[in-house]
Amino acid sequence: MRVISRKRLRQCWERRDCADAKAPLLAWFKEAEKASWNTPAAIKHAYRHATILPAGRVVFNIAGNKYRIVARINYEYQVLYIRFVGTHAEYDRINVRTV
């Protein structure tokens, strides 16, 4: 899977309120890069707490649900676009379908 972009992950862990996010976000990134998810079911098999949404969107719970990643996935081309990375509280304030 090609992950676009790691910069959003880095921007999160460089913030003072997310200093402990670096290790779990990097672990997720490395796993996502090696993955070849062809269907939402493949993601659920790897991440049973992931939330599958319409239009290829997926919400990943990171670090025991302390952080969230919202991604849009093009399964055919094996590309994952990171749309949002932040704390659970920040996630609660966004519209996950439009971010």
Q: What is the mean pLDDT of the chain?
A: 95
Residue 5: what pLDDT? 86
Structural domains of the chain in order of their starting residue, each with its CATH number: 2-91 (3.30.2310.20)
The size of the chain, in residues, is 99
Residue 78: what pLDDT? 97
Q: What is the pLDDT of residues 47-96, one digit of tens each?
A: 999 999 999 999 999 999 999 999 999 999 999 999 999 999 999 999 99
- For residue 19, pLDDT over 90 is answered with no
- One-character DSSP codes across 58-80: EEEEETTTTEEEEEEEETTTTEE
Pairing mode, strands 2-4 and 67-74 = unpaired
**Residue 15 DSSP SS3:** coil
Q: What is the pLDDT of residues 24-55, one digit of tens each?
A: 999 999 999 999 999 999 999 999 999 999 99
**Residue 83 DSSP SS3:** strand
